[in-house]
C-alpha cells in the first residue's frame, strides 16, 4: 500500500511540470464552462453544480479531516449541502463524529429548494440560515455552531466578487481549525476569458482568486495546498484549497 501511495504522490507531483497536460486541462475548463458542464450533475437527487473532480477532492478532505462541522456559504439547489451531510453520515458509520453537522448560508433560499432540502433524509445533519453571509447577525449565528468543535471545514461559494469573497474570508476563515481547510470555490474565474462571466458582476481581476490572494498576503496562517490543484487538474477552485497551518 505504501508503495502504491508513493506512486500516486509521484504522479501528482509530475502533473505540475507537465505543460501539455496543464494546457489540455485549461482548454477543457474553458470549453466546459462555456457549455455549463457543472450543471449536469446531482448528488442524491439534488443538483450540485460542481465538477466531479472537486467533488472527489472534497470527499477526500472530509474523510481525512473527519470534521465535526462543515460551514458552507451559498446553497442554491442544495446539492452541496446534501453531499457534505452524506459524507458526514458515512464518516459516522465508519466510526467518525456521530453528531457532525453542516451549516449552510444563503441570502435567498428559494421556497422550492428549501422544501426539497428539508424533505431529504440528509436534512437531519443540516442547518440552513437565510441572510447575507457577511451580515453580523448571520456570522454570529454560524460562529455559535463552531463552539467546542475540534475540526471545522469551511467552503465559500456564494457571491463571487472580490469584495464579497474577501469579506467572507475575513469572517469565516478564522472559523477553520488548524489542519483543516477554507475552500474558496470559483477561483477559476481569474483564468478564463471575460466573456465567460457574461453579465455577472465578477470576472478577471475581480473574483474569488483575487480575493484569496489578497487575504493570503495578510494571513500567513493559511497556505494554498497546490497538491490538490496538481491532483484534480480540472476543477473550479485552483489556488482555492487554503489549508490552515497554524
User: What is the count of structural domains for the chain?
Assistant: 1
- Domain of residue 95: give its range: 2-244
> CA 83, CA 85: separation in Å to the nearest integer?
5
Kindly report the CATH number assigned to the domain that includes residue 67.
3.40.50.150
In sequence order, the 6+-apart residues with CB closer than 8 A to the CB of 214 are: 162, 166
pTM of the shown model: 0.97
Contact partners, residue 81, CB within 8 Å, separation at least 6: 72, 75, 102, 104, 117, 122, 126, 128
pLDDT at 1: 75
101 in Cβ contact with 127 (< 8 Å): yes
Measure the CA–CA gap between 208 and 124, rounded to whole angstroms.
31
Residues 6+ apart with CB under 8 A from 42: 48, 79
Distance set, CA 198 to CA 52, 54, 91, 204, 234 (Å): 24, 23, 39, 11, 21
Give mean pLDDT in consecutive 10-residue pieces for the chain, a chain of 246 residues: 93 97 97 97 98 98 98 98 98 98 98 98 98 98 98 98 98 98 98 94 98 98 98 98 98
Closest residue by Cα to residue 80 from 96, 111, 112, 57: 57
The per-residue pLDDT for 35 is 97
- CA 239 – CA 176 distance, rounded (Å): 17
The per-residue pLDDT for range 141-194, each reduced to its tens digit, is 999 999 999 999 999 999 999 999 999 999 999 999 999 999 999 999 999 999
Amino acid at each position: 500500500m505504501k508503495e502504491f501511495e508513493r506512486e500516486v504522490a509521484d504522479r501528482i507531483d509530475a502533473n505540475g511540470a507537465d505543460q501539455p497536460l496543464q494546457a489540455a486541462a485549461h482548454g477543457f475548463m474553458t470549453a466546459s464552462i462555456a457549455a455549463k458542464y457543472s450543471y449536469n450533475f446531482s448528488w442524491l437527487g439534488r443538483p450540485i453544480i460542481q465538477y466531479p473532480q472537486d467533488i472527489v477532492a472534497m470527499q477526500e478532505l472530509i474523510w481525512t479531516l473527519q470534521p465535526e462541522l462543515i460551514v458552507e456559504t451559498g446553497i442554491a439547489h442544495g446539492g452541496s449541502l446534501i453531499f457534505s451531510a452524506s459524507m458526514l453520515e458515512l464518516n459516522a458509520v465508519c466510526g467518525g463524529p456521530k453528531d457532525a453537522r453542516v451549516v449552510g448560508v444563503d441570502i435567498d433560499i428559494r421556497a422550492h429548494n428549501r422544501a426539497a432540502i428539508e424533505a431529504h433524509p440528509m436534512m437531519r445533519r443540516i442547518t440552513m440560515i437565510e441572510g447575507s453571509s457577511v451580515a453580523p447577525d448571520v456570522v454570529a449565528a454560524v460562529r455559535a455552531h463552531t463552539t467546542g468543535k475540534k475540526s471545522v471545514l469551511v467552503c465559500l461559494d456564494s457571491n463571487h466578487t472580490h469584495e464579497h469573497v474577501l469579506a467572507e474570508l475575513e469572517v469565516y476563515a478564522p472559523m477553520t481549525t488548524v489542519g483543516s481547510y477554507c475552500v474558496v470555490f470559483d477561483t477559476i474565474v481569474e483564468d478564463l476569458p471575460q466573456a465567460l462571466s457574461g453579465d455577472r458582476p465578477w470576472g478577471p481581476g475581480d473574483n474569488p482568486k483575487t480575493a484569496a490572494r489578497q487575504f493570503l498576503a495578510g494571513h500567513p496562517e493559511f497556505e494554498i495546498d497546490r497538491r490538490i490543484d496538481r491532483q484534480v487538474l480540472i476543477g473550479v477552485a485552483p489556488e482555492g484549497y487554503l489549508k490552515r497551518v497554524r
